[in-house]
Amino acid sequence: MKSGSVFPKIGDKLLRAKIWSNLMRIQCPIPSLYTFQEDIRYLQPLVGIMKRISGFPTRKGSKTTLRVVLEQSFTGANQHEDHVQVQEAKFAVKTYRGNLEDRLDLGIWQAWLYLMREFTNMVPECPKKEKGKPTPTPKRPNPAAWYHFAMYMYRLGFESDEIHRQMRRDTDREIAHNSLLDARSPEDYVYNELDLKSHEDGMVKMYNTARRKTPSAGNPVLFVDGLGEDLERRCGRTFENAYEYDRKHLFLNVLGGSNWAGGRGITSLFVRISVCFAFFGKPSFSTGTLQSVKLAADEQPTNILQVPQQPQHPTTLAEASLNSKPTATQQHNDDMSGTTRTNEPIEAVDGELTALRQQMDEIQIQNEKLVDSLTRKGEDLNAVRESLQQELNDCHAKSQIQFNMHAKLSEENEEFKTKIGKAESEIDTLRKERDQLNRKLL
């Protein structure tokens, strides 16, 4: 600005000073057309995953947006009224005061952050190569990563056909099955069906012996005293080291509570957060304040995939807007405490109903898993039956071949005996003729 190379056609010093002052208020890197396009490339795999899990329409000509589809898929399942769940670490969740708008907006925010942390396990994409390190290679999509993301979305209050389909998958068995096929290519080898199932069962049991480690991410760092990330690393696909560091800290509390003052250099985490702000805005509570909720020990979830015990009956934003508005006194009481209720008997009944709904949801999920398990077992039994039937058919075929061979040998034996009889008869005739000749000679 001082040299005049930026906005060269604006010569007024006061106007240039005002522009400079406005630019200095921007707390994240100002994108150019190039960096904007590069960041779009970074976000494309994440958008693809989000479209799939939300049931985004694939037909051509659809004018809906991904945000609209996400809002429509938000049913409020597993949610508490006046509460919003915020994931603050990989296995840590904290409950805050919040309304329906907070649960929707922050739920969408947390879904995007989850994908930024885990997308390399869900689609064949990988970070950029670091200097002096081997080139990263895309990994096969992990069924467990899709299962966990579906559980995560369901935990945040979203539902779709794809979410429920992913939650019904037996991912441990899928991984065991794929591992066996990787070890012995189906092109060259074949497993006995019973052996294959037995091997899968054993591997799943081994998986279940694993114990979760306690993560140690450390404090997030946005600024450094040195140069920090150079221009090449400030946009587009993230580099490998940066990705591994950032994924430990990309949580809602870090974005909302970061200190935007520090050294002269910026870190990769600063770059990722800046991309979030540039494309999604800044996350915030509708009240403008964070107020945590103290829950009983058995009610406070420790894992974002843990379903809360008394979920609020599913309610979309559209349905909530149709509900009758509270009186001014009720609104004032809600704003002051967030928990004051005057009709305790009704609240108790509501609690029982929500608990029953939760139990029904769990029974439905268990029933679907049981149906899937029985279906798989039925398919396994059919495969075994078909295998045994094939073996029986093979035995019948072999037996028939042996019978035919025996009949043929018997027939050939009779023919051989007939030939021997004829030969012996001819020999007798020749002997008689010889004797006659001998008598004549004498």
**pLDDT tens by residue, 146-155:** 999 999 999 9
Residue 348, H or E segment: helix 344-441
Looking at the fold, whether 98 and 228 belong to one and the same domain comes out as yes
Residue 1 domain flag:
yes
| C-alpha dihedral sign at 282, 287, 292, 296 | negative
For 195-245, the pLDDT digits (tens) are: 999 999 999 999 999 998 887 778 898 989 888 999 899 999 999 999 999
Residue 334 domain flag:
no
Looking at the fold, whether 24 and 128 belong to one and the same domain comes out as no
Residue 172 token pair: 């441990």
Looking at the fold, whether 157 and 283 belong to one and the same domain comes out as yes
Range of the domain at 9: 1-30
Looking at the fold, whether 54 and 1 belong to one and the same domain comes out as no
**Number of domains forming the structure of the chain:** 2
pLDDT score of 341 more than 50: no
Looking at the fold, whether 255 and 286 belong to one and the same domain comes out as yes
Looking at the fold, whether 15 and 83 belong to one and the same domain comes out as no
Residue 361 domain flag:
no
Looking at the fold, whether 22 and 83 belong to one and the same domain comes out as no
Residue 171 domain flag:
yes
Looking at the fold, whether 243 and 300 belong to one and the same domain comes out as yes
Looking at the fold, whether 22 and 101 belong to one and the same domain comes out as no
Looking at the fold, whether 101 and 179 belong to one and the same domain comes out as yes
Residue 352 domain flag:
no
Q: In 10 A of CB 10, how many CB atoms?
A: 12
DSSP state of 93: E
Q: Which residues pair with 93 in a beta bridge?
A: 87
pTM of structure? 0.66
CA count, 13 A, side-chain hemisphere, 393: 6
DSSP state of 92: E
Least confident segment among 57-61, 163-167, 175-179: 57-61
Looking at the fold, whether 7 and 75 belong to one and the same domain comes out as no
Residue 41 token pair: 């490339």
For 30-81, the pLDDT digits (tens) are: 888 899 999 999 999 999 999 999 999 988 777 899 999 999 999 998 888 8
Looking at the fold, whether 57 and 9 belong to one and the same domain comes out as no
